[in-house]
Amino acid sequence: MPATRLLTLTLTAVLTTLVCAAPLPVLVRNGEAHVAAAVLEREAGMVVKRLPGRAEFVVCGQERCAPLKSVLTDGDDWLVPVAPLCDAMHLTANFDESRRHVALILAPRESSATTGPVRVGGIAPNLRLSKLGGAPVSLDELRGQRVLINSWASW
């Protein structure tokens, strides 16, 4: 039924967003498709970070952070397996015919940046406090810098 098919295609086009316009080069390791972390950051705006002392990785975009397993080391870079990456970030992988390139497609959903518990490996909630002397300070205005928060009391 061509009419139904056309409708489905149109809907798909409306409901999905490409994370990165250019397909990313695929590197096969242990029979599995991987993408380099540096490429993922540059082309798709997703960053892979290791959690010190835990030997765990997280992958984060603008709105979402999720744990990532089985990241491989490749010289100075990391190789991220495509299938777990898609699970973690709610993406669909579209490989080209030769499977040398992959486009990552994001299904839109409600922003998850404002939900979920505060945890290591997650996005920090914003805070607005007053410094000694009264000047305001917020965590958000420090974005782009590494911030060490130490909470202490006189008791």
Partner 1 sequence: MDVQGPEVVTPWIKKYGVTFPVAVDTADIFGAAFGLKAIPVSFLVDEVGIIRLQGGGPSKEFLAQVEEILREPVSTVRSQTRESATAMSLDELRAQVARTSSDADARLALAQALERAGDYQAAFVECEAAARLRPSDATIPFTHGLVLLRQGKTNEALVKLTQARDLDAGNWRIRKQIWALEHPDKFYGTNGIDWGWQKEQIAREKK
CB neighbours of residue 98 within 10 Å: 7
Contact between residue 58 and residue 49 where contact means Cβ atoms under 8 Å apart? yes
Regarding 108 and contact with partner 1 (CB under 8 A), the answer is no
Regarding 67 and contact with partner 1 (CB under 8 A), the answer is no
Binding mask 15-54 for partner 1 (x = CB under 8 A): --------------------------x---xxx-x-xxx-
| Out of 39, 60, 82, 102, the residue judged to bind partner 1 by CB under 8 A | 60
Q: Which is nearer to partner 1, 94 or 114 (CB)?
A: 114
Cα separation, 45 vs 64, in Å, equals 11
Q: Which is nearer to partner 1, 1 or 153 (CB)?
A: 153
| Out of 33, 61, 66, 102, the residue judged to bind partner 1 by CB under 8 A | 61
| Out of 32, 63, 86, 93, the residue judged to bind partner 1 by CB under 8 A | 63
DSSP code at position 126: P
DSSP code at position 132: T
Cα separation, 91 vs 82, in Å, equals 10
The pairing of strands 24-25 and 27-29 is unpaired
Output the six-digit token pair for 3: 């009419």
Contact footprint for partner 1 (CB under 8 A): 41, 45-47, 49, 51-53, 58, 60-63, 65, 111, 113-114, 117-132, 137-140, 142-155
